[in-house]
Amino acid sequence: MNITILFGGSSYEHEVSIVSAITMKKVLKQSTLQFVFVDTMRDFYLIDSEKMKSKFFSSGAYKKSKKLTLKKTGFFAEGMFGSKPIETDVVLNLIHGRDGEDGKIASLLGFYSVPFISPRTEASALSFNKLYTKCLAQSVGVKTVSYEHLNCNDARKITMPYPVIIKPVRLGSSIGLSVVKSPEELDYALDVAFEFDSDVIIEPFVENVKEFNQAGCLTDRWELSIIEEPEKEGFLDFEKKYMDFSRDAQVNEADIAESIRQEIQESFKKIYDPLFKGSIIRCDFFEIDGEIYLNEINPVPGSMANYLFEDFEAMVMRLSRNLPSEENIVIDYQYIHSIQSAKGKA
């Protein structure tokens, strides 16, 4: 199977995306891989597999690679004798953050009829914004923790008791995130968050909360991963998540009650179907006093959460054969012709 790994992008999570793509090279061992890098200027480059090393990108050496153009049905290399297509069966979107998770890439690939594994435009828009995610969860009957919202122009006041956690609305990988234990720490935490986003959400910080990660997709059947209980102190900061995204070996399953397992899986299904068809997502849940709450949706999880699946590559192949398709709209100009006929025009 020919798979094109699309990574990079104009995002604060650009480097995390590079780590994910390098890791995916280790994970997809049976497939033929092409790597397409999107730099911060949003130009596409075809990257040789043997050059998939972090220094190749940080040094700018990638600019010597072949530039690509995205056109109808896929990527093309332009040359003296015309366009040459980059052969692929499916594009795997590994662009984290802006560009990859906000719907831009999904819109481009959909517009050009390129088969791809990733949330579609509508799902991307809802899951990229933490406020919209809470609205989505509420609409399908999945609980979320209480929150407050602040814009950078609002008065810096909150009513929630401390400690709280401050999160930029449109960022992942714990970028700009802070735990605030007293009112004296609030201004600084907001300054940090507003460096990255114009909006933040404030949530209660619960000590020793249990967190569980569930990934999966819908092919011709439900394919749910094991449930992981990540080992962490407080929360994973950017550096820890950066390393976390490089995992390529399956982790251990959480030792939890069957009732908790079923509630997590049912909550995942409610979030996923039908909005996220065609993608592999990971949902992070909290257990607080026996209740399950959605923490966040990872629409393009680091290395696609391969470490949670027994046979990730086989699942990718099945998903590529069960992607959603747009309705074929036939335009016959009957309306325009009827108007012209009514006016006596040919």
pLDDT tens column, 154-178: 999 999 999 999 999 988 767 889 9
> Would residue 333 count as lying in a domain?
no
Say if residues 44 and 74 touch (Cβ distance below 8 Å).
no
Domain at 315, CATH number = 3.30.470.20
pLDDT value at position 118? 98
The domain of 163 spans 148-204
The predicted-structure confidence for 265-280, as pLDDT tens digits, reads as follows 999 999 999 999 999 9
Domain at 180, CATH number = 3.30.1490.20
Last residue of a domain, one of 180, 204, 228: 204
Structure tokens at 155: 């008065």
Say if residues 298 and 282 touch (Cβ distance below 8 Å).
yes
Distance, in Å, from the CA atom of 229 to the CA atom of 214, rounded to the nearest integer, reads 9
Instruction: Count Cβ atoms below 10 Å from residue 76 Cβ, excluding itself.
Output: 17
Say if residues 278 and 118 touch (Cβ distance below 8 Å).
yes
Distance, in Å, from the CA atom of 104 to the CA atom of 88, rounded to the nearest integer, reads 20
Residues 40 and 88 in one domain: yes
The conformation of residue 252, written as its DSSP 8-state character, comes to: P
Q: What is the mean pLDDT of residues 252-270?
A: 96
Q: What values do phi and psi take at 229, rounded to 5?
A: -105, 100
Neighbouring residues of 75: CB distance < 8 A, sequence distance ≥ 6? 4, 36, 44, 46, 68, 69, 85, 86, 88
Domain at 37, CATH number = 3.40.50.20
Residues 19 and 95 in one domain: yes
Residues 199 and 164 in one domain: yes
pTM of the prediction? 0.90
> Would residue 334 count as lying in a domain?
no
Query: How many domains is the chain partitioned into structurally?
Result: 3
Say if residue 163 is preceded by a cis peptide, omega within 30 of 0: yes
